[in-house]
Amino acid sequence: MKRLAAWLALMLSSFGLDRWLASQLFETNVVASLLAPSAATALTSALLALTFLLNRLALYVALPAGAAAALSLAAFRGWLKPVSAQPEARS
Amino acid sequence: MTWIRSRWCSWICALLCGWFVAHNVPSRAFRSEASGWQAGEQRQVELARSVNSQLPSVAPDKFSTGSALFDGEWAFGTGVMAAIGNAQLALQSPESRASCVSASDRALAHITSWEIRGYDRDRWGSDPLDAEDSGEAHLAYLGYLNLALSLRYALSRSSHDALGERITDRLAAAYESSPGTLLETYPGEYYPMDNAMAVASIALRGRVDRARGKVDARSAQRMQIGKRWATLARARYLDQASGLLLQHSAPQETDAQSTGSPRGSGSAFAAFALNYVDDELFAELQRALRAQLLSPVLGFGLLQEFPSQVPRSERHGDIDSGPLVFGYSISASGFMVGASRATGDDASVTSLMAMFDLLGGLERRESAGGVRLSFVSGGPLADAIMLAMLTAPLHQQIDSLLEASAKETP
């Protein structure tokens, strides 16, 4: 349950970050600011854009795949436990 | 069977499950969503609202590429793609025709302004819209502007017609007297892709006249220029191994093939333009792009910029391709949407748009003028390019669309 809650929290926070960044970037010219003469503007834009892209990859690809892997691992372990406990039960 | 109880076996099975989900679930969900781009024109209308609302604030000083030339090109590119996208949408969507025609007019007024055409003037040392024909091609500006003007001409008569006629005559005369069939983008620089835009603008104007029943020597000559260019380009500027267009080349006066790198961005953009010119070259390019460069990742459509025959040491990104990540090009992938849509390759459009919805961050907002869609990580230039690509008409329907439009033209 703890792990499930951790996955859910991770996905919800990633979703929240995605919505916040999308609202910040909507109809802005973030690409144009990447090479801005002001280093602070360029860095902020690059960080925003990169965080947005990486977070979307995490939210929509990596996290579902990771959750599926974690769930299947838990299911396998749950299935293996009774199998390995059987010989002890017989003795 | 003790191996099945081992710890590493559980891990392998879990990783396989994770890989299966990564490979199938996200792309299926995004492809299902992206198929909405092909169900009518509603989404395109919503994207056009965003493009049109952003356009007035687009100017060279709003871009910071580090090069004044590229800043100017991007500002012009945003406007010209907006004009082309709106005109193509008006051609195909009777319900939004009036608003798209007026949006196309506003975009044309924007891109013919003194400020927006400054990048080309600075490079050539003369204004591209000078009334006197100096013999300079100015293709970086005139080739693209004239395609937008020819599309606007296809919709109805307008105040832009005289300018379109003048540029078409000027470009047609230049092609007639060019043995290499390549005009200069900038002094000493020749790009087949920019030439494809220019010949498409000439040929399309001829087709519009024919659709209006004006079958004279001039409209026939304009269509012929397009066909001739396509024939010669196939022999001279198409890479025989990959079937892709060379990105840049010196003009060839014989049918000996030019040397140079075949590229995805140039080939896909040229295919989008040649949709208005030639059946064979257009279809050949689309087939080559699909076979050589379309290489989906986890079910999301993406295009490589270079075919495999180009040595890795020579595969460098530039302003045309955008930054390459593992050889994949966002520009080539975007232009491929237009080429695929024009051939009716729905599967490619859907998988490419699934990728753009994911990485472009397609967002929907309610506004006073109606729902607006925007690719938030791309800015106004990406929105405008995607609008032009997502409104590319089906190749087989162009004549019937032009005829239908001609009937509405007073």
Q: Bigger pLDDT: B147 or B63?
A: B147
What's the pLDDT score for residue B1? 55
Name which of A29, A57, A66 is nearest B380 (Cβ-Cβ): A29
Residues of A whose CB is below 8 A from B62: 29, 32
Shortest CB distance from B5 goes to which of A34, A37, A84? A84
Asked if the model's pLDDT at residue B67 lies above 90, the reply is: no
Residue B375 pLDDT exceeds 60: yes
Residue B64 with chain A: CB contacts under 8 Å: 32-37, 42
* Better pLDDT: A14 or B7: A14
Please indicate whether, in this complex, the C-beta atoms of B361 and A22 are within 8 angstroms of each other: yes
Span B212-222, pLDDT tens digits: 998 889 999 99
Element (H, E) at A4: helix A2-25
pLDDT tens for residues B233-254?
A: 999 999 989 999 999 888 877 7
Question: What are the tens digits of pLDDT across the range B13-34?
Answer: 889 999 999 999 999 999 999 9
More confident residue, B267 or A45: B267
* Residue (of B271, B254, B255) closest to B263 by Cα position: B271
Cross-chain residue pair B15–A69, CB shorter than 8 Å: yes
B15 touches chain A (CB under 8 A): yes
More confident residue, B26 or A82: B26
Q: State how far the Cα of B55 lies from the Cα of A55, in Å rounded to an integer.
A: 29
Is pLDDT at B359 greater than 50 in this prediction? yes
How close, in Å, is residue B323 to chain A by CA atoms? 12
The residue to which tokens 């090069």 are assigned: B67
Whether the per-residue pLDDT at B166 is higher than 50: the answer is: yes
- Residues in B closer than 8 angstroms to A27, CB to CB, are 50, 53-54, 365, 372, 374, 376, 380
Q: How far is B91 from chain A (nearest CA, A)?
A: 26
Please indicate whether, in this complex, the C-beta atoms of A25 and B62 are within 8 angstroms of each other: no
Nearest to B14 among A25, A37, A72 (CB): A72
ipTM over 0.85: no
Give yes or no for residue A2 having a pLDDT over 90.
Answer: no
Give yes or no for a contact between B111 and B76, defined as CB atoms under 8 angstroms apart.
yes
Chain B residues inside the 8 Å CB shell of A76? 9-10, 13-14
| Mean pLDDT, residues A54-75 | 91
Q: What is the pLDDT of residue A87?
A: 55
Check pLDDT > 60 for residue B291.
Answer: yes
- Asked if the Cβ–Cβ distance from A29 to B63 is below 8 Å, we say yes
Q: Determine the residue among A55, A72, A80, A86 to mutate to test chain B binding: the one whose Cβ has the most chain B Cβ atoms within 10 Å.
A: A72
Per-window interface: B 35-54 vs A, CB < 8 A? 50, 53-54
Assess A54–B contact: CB distance below 8 Å, yes or no.
Answer: no
| 8 Å CB contact of A30 and B376 | yes
pLDDT band at residue A37, thresholds of 50, 70 and 90?
A: low
**Prediction pTM value:** 0.91
pLDDT range class, residue B300, cuts 50, 70, 90: very high
Q: Is the CB of B367 inside 8 Å of chain A's CB atoms? A: no
Cβ–Cβ under 8 Å, residues B329 and B322: yes
Partner residue facing B377 (CB), from A25, A62, A69: A25
A37 contact B CB<8A: yes
**Any B CB within 8 A of A90 CB:** no
CB contact under 8 A, B359 and A56: yes
User: How much is the pLDDT for A91?
Assistant: 42
For an interface test with A, the pick among B11, B19, B61, B64 (most A C-beta atoms closer than 10 Å) comes out as B64
Closest CA to B292 of B343, B344, B240, B231: B240
- List pLDDT tens digits, range B382-407: 999 999 999 999 999 999 999 999 98
